[in-house]
Structure 1
Amino acid sequence: MNIVTIGGVTIGLAILTHHIVTWWPGLKCLRTDPAGAVSSLAPFLLAWSYGVLAILTVGGIIGWIADTTLWISNWLGDVALVWGVGGTTGTAAGRTTYLPLTQTGTAVVLLLTVLLLAAMKKSQYGGSLKAGAWCGICLGTSAGVTGLAAVPLAQAVNWLGSQAYGIFA
């Protein structure tokens, strides 16, 4: 599992900021139809949740892709910080403990991968889904609020896997 750097967190926050700014429907729309306006964020948030779970996987091709995505994001963010604004790089404050995914939890992540890939291909929200997954991978191991969301997500997937696969056992 890769460690997130300040550059990686910066890339994740940049993706999140870009998505929120381009999503913003305006105050009038939020007042008249808040559910409709906020529901358009659902694809991004669901893919973000998947990205957090993907970075928690410890092996296999899904874990390798998530780790590689985080590594590239760390590198891009570090380059942007050093060459773009003259800053410095370093390891971001990351969580020291991770909630491992159980065997059935990782099976659910695999099923979610299939679902996300199909949705990216067929849905009109393909860009939001890709951005959300990338953002989740970048911010899933950070120590901030977004990193803290990894614990309940992992618990939920582990529980769902135990319930779903308990039927077949």
Structure 2
Amino acid sequence: MTYVTIGGVTVGLMILAYQLALWWPGLKPLRKDPVRHAAALLPFFLSCAYGALTVLGIGGLIGWAARTAVWITSWLGDVALVWGVGTDAGQRAGGTVYLPLTQTGGALVLILTVIVVVTAKKSTKHGGAISRGAWCGMTLGTSAGIAGFAAVPLATAANWLGGTVYGAM
């Protein structure tokens, strides 16, 4: 299990803030059609959930890539905290107790990986949001904050869905 540092969580929150700033339509349009505007965030948050799943005990190439992304993000965030605002770095952001994925849950994550990669490459409108969402989910998925609390229901849902799909065959 790779643990994210405070710097890594800070970067994850900055990615989330950046996406929300890009999305913000203004108060008047949001009041006029809230459902349509909220739906524009769906690709980001779905890929954020995927990113959180990739750091939940996934091995192989996908797990290595996710752990490497978390490590690099934590390092970059720590450097930004030290050189940007002069705080201490390297403090673990409080790892969450996570539910590892079962074999069928891991198979579902492999299928989701193909979907996320192809969608991010082919979608000109949502490709950036999908990539940022996966990165955000990877960094916040191992934190003890809100995204960390979401990891257990995500893993449970992936294990259940994978068991249902593969159990039906």
TM-score class, shorter: over 0.9
Distance in 1 separating the partners of 2:107 and 2:64: 16
1:65 alignment counterpart: 65
Aligned to 2:75: 75
Q: Which residue of 2 aligns with 1:126?
A: 127
CA shift, 1:57, in A, is: 3.1
The equivalent residue for 2:168 is 167
Q: Which residue number corresponds to residue 105 of structure 1?
A: 105
- Give, in whole Å, the separation in 2 of the partners of 1:105 and 1:46: 17
After TM superposition, the runs of 4+ consecutive aligned structure 1 residues lying more than 3 A away are none
Three-state SS of the structure 1 residue aligned to 2:31 is: helix
Q: What is the SS of the residue equivalent to 1:56?
A: coil
Question: Whole-Å Cα distance in 2 between the matches of residues 91 and 99 of structure 1?
Answer: 19
Q: Does 1:20 align with 2:20?
A: yes
Partners of 1:45 and 1:57 in 2: CA distance? 21
Which secondary structure does the structure 1 equivalent of 2:100 belong to? coil
Question: Which letter does structure 1 place at the counterpart of 2:107?
Answer: A
User: Tell me, which stretches of 5 or more residues in structure 2 are unaligned?
Assistant: none
Letter in 1 for 2:109: V
> Which residue number in structure 1 is paired with residue 55 of structure 2?
55
1-side partners of 2:88 and 2:21: how far apart?
Answer: 27
Q: What TM-score do you get using the length of structure 2 for normalisation? A: 0.97
Match of 1:37 in 2: 37
**How many Å separate the matches in 2 of 1:13 and 1:59?**
25
Structure 1: distance between partners of 2:73 and 2:9: 8
Are 1:94 and 2:98 matched, yes or no?
A: no
Aligned-residue identity in percent: 58
State how far apart, in whole Å, the 1-side matches of 2:28 and 2:129 are.
23
1:58 Cα deviation after fit: 3.2
Provide, for residues 13-65 of structure 1, a one-character-per-residue CA deviation record: whole Å limited to 9, x for no partner. Answer: 00001111111111111111111000000000010000000111331000000
Q: State the alpha-carbon separation in 1 of the partners of residues 154 and 92 from structure 2.
A: 24
The total of aligned residue pairs comes to 167
> In angstroms, what is the RMSD of aligned CA positions?
0.8
Q: C-alpha displacement at 1:133, in angstroms?
A: 0.3
Q: Write the deviation string for residues 124-146 of structure 1: whole angstroms up to 9, x where unpaired.
A: 21100000000000000111111
Normalized against structure 1, the TM-score is what? 0.97
Per the alignment, residue 6 of structure 1 pairs with 6
Q: CA shift at 1:12, angstroms?
A: 0.3
Q: CA deviation at 1:94?
A: 1.8
**Preserved CA contact (<8 Å) 2:58 2:106:** no
